[in-house]
């Protein structure tokens, strides 16, 4: 039985064609089954790729070899205590003073974020191309499995006859 199955797998071959381009020629069924499983793993990998934050505007920085966000200017403040005189001092009463805090700018910063993540559009393109390959591999496997194969089932019979005669 195994001999016939392995022999038929050698004869059941198919080409993997995507968009008119032949990616594999005469691929055997076991390899096509293996390839289908590998493509599932690649699909998992692509869907888990980190993507760029869509709330930022990104451009590719050749010097850094990564995506860079638009510069964002920010300031840093410090709380400084101030006094507000509610009533001036007199001969009989001290001045009525209220303390409050005022924010004073102490510095300016420009922030540029860098990311090695992938643009969401690129992930969508990769998934589309992967799905085309998955469909083509499945079609090739089905096509190879539909090939009529002629095997000689006498091999197993001869071995068993030899052993038990």
CA distance 42 to 61: 28
The two structure tokens encoding residue 117: 């993540």
pLDDT tier at 49, thresholds 50, 70, 90? very high
Q: Give the pLDDT confidence score for residue 12 in this predicted structure.
A: 82
**C-beta separation of 82 from 67 below 8 A:** no
pLDDT in tens, 79-97: 999 988 888 888 888 888 8
Q: Ranked by mean pLDDT, which of 34-48, 92-106, 150-164 comes out on top?
A: 34-48
Q: What is the pLDDT of residue 93?
A: 86
The pLDDT of residue 145: 83
Average pLDDT value over all residues in the chain: 88
> Half-sphere exposure (CA, 13 Å, Cβ side) for 54?
2
Q: What is the mean pLDDT of residues 110-127?
A: 95
Cα 142 to Cα 33: distance, rounded to the nearest angstrom:
10
CB neighbours of 69 closer than 8 A, spacing ≥ 6?
A: 56, 57, 58, 112, 113, 114, 115
Q: What pLDDT is stored for residue 62 in this prediction?
A: 94
């Amino acid at each position: 039985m195994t001999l016939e199955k392995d022999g038929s797998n050698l004869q059941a071959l198919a080409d993997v064609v995507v968009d008119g381009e032949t990616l594999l020629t005469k691929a055997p069924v076991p390899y096509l089954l293996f390839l289908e499983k590998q493509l599932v793993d690649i699909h998992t990998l692509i869907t888990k790729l980190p993507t760029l934050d869509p709330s930022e505007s990104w451009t590719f920085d050749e010097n850094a070899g990564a995506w860079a966000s638009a510069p964002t200017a920010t300031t840093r403040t410090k709380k400084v205590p101030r006094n507000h005189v509610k009533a001036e001092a007199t001969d009989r009463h001290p001045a009525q003073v209220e303390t409050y805090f005022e924010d004073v700018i102490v510095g300016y910063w420009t922030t540029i974020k860098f990311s090695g993540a992938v643009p969401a559009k690129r992930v969508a393109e990769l998934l589309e191309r992967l799905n085309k390959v998955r469909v083509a591999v499945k079609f090739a496997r089905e096509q190879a499995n539909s090939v009529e194969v002629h095997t000689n089932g006498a091999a197993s019979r001869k071995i068993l006859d030899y052993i038990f005669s």
